[in-house]
């Protein structure tokens, strides 16, 4: 533990003990437990998450008899279904509310939808032959020559001189010689 972390931890323990002396019923923890709870570090947070997951799994395993009969009917349950059952048990997953009237009226009827599934595009067949690569290289070389000829015809004006700034003026001056 670094010195700074140690100092922060000690300060938080002192604060926790002061609060405990002021109101002993509010914070019944002391010693090592007080250090864990007051710092709110990663270990305490991970412990809380693990306890919540264990509780969720325990709740999902304590489904009623109807759910047990339903599970008997299903021989295998996928991982996604198991997660869904846990979320439903904890009331974290809900069905969306029905669409409002103006939404239903603005949508076309399901039998009038013209859905066309996307199909994969055909890939070009195989690698290029050496002759095709040579032809492609010659084509690129020709394009390069054309671009150079077109660029030679364009007259590029000289850039305008930049105004002198204090830095540039200082850099342009020769350095002073120091007197010995």
pLDDT tens digit sequence for 6-53: 555 667 777 777 777 777 666 555 555 544 444 456 777 888 888 888
What pLDDT shows up at residue 173? 64
Low-confidence ranges of the chain (pLDDT < 50): 34-39
What pLDDT shows up at residue 38? 47
For residues 133 and 139, give the distance between their C-alpha atoms in angstroms, rounded to a whole number: 10
Q: Give yes or no for a contact between 93 and 84, defined as CB atoms under 8 angstroms apart.
A: yes
**Closest to 90 in 3D by CA, of 60, 127, 48:** 60
What pLDDT shows up at residue 45? 80
Q: Give yes or no for a contact between 37 and 19, defined as CB atoms under 8 angstroms apart.
A: no
Tally of CA atoms within 13 A in the half-sphere of 176 that contains its CB: 4
Matching residue, tokens 């949508």: 107
**Closest to 33 in 3D by CA, of 20, 22, 52, 23:** 20
CB 32: neighbour CB atoms within 10 A? 9
Contacts within 8 Å (CB) and 24+ apart, 39-43: 39/8, 39/9, 39/12
For residues 49 and 18, give the distance between their C-alpha atoms in angstroms, rounded to a whole number: 28
Phi and psi torsions of 20, nearest 5°: -70, -40
Angle between helices 79-89 and 42-61 (to 10 degrees): 100
Question: What residues have CB less than 8 Å from 43, skipping those under 6 apart?
Answer: 36
For residues 111 and 117, give the distance between their C-alpha atoms in angstroms, rounded to a whole number: 16
């Amino acid at each position: 533990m670094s010195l700074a972390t140690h100092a922060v931890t000690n300060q938080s323990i002192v604060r926790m003990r002061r609060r405990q002396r002021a109101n002993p019923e509010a914070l019944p923890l002391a010693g090592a437990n007080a250090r864990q709870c007051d710092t709110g570090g990663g270990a305490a947070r991970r412990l809380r998450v693990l306890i919540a997951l264990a509780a969720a799994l325990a709740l999902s395993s304590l489904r009623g008899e109807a759910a047990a009969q339903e599970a008997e009917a299903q021989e295998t349950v996928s991982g996604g279904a198991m997660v869904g059952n846990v979320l439903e048990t904890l009331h974290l997953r809900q069905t969306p509310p029905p669409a409002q009237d103006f939404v239903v009226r603005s949508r076309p009827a399901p039998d009038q939808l013209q859905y066309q599934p996307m199909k994969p595009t055909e890939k070009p067949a195989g690698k290029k032959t050496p002759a095709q690569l040579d032809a492609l290289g010659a084509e690129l070389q020709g394009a390069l020559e054309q671009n150079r000829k077109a660029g030679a015809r364009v007259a590029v004006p000289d850039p305008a001189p930049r105004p002198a700034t204090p830095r540039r003026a200082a850099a342009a001056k020769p350095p002073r010689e120091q007197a010995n």
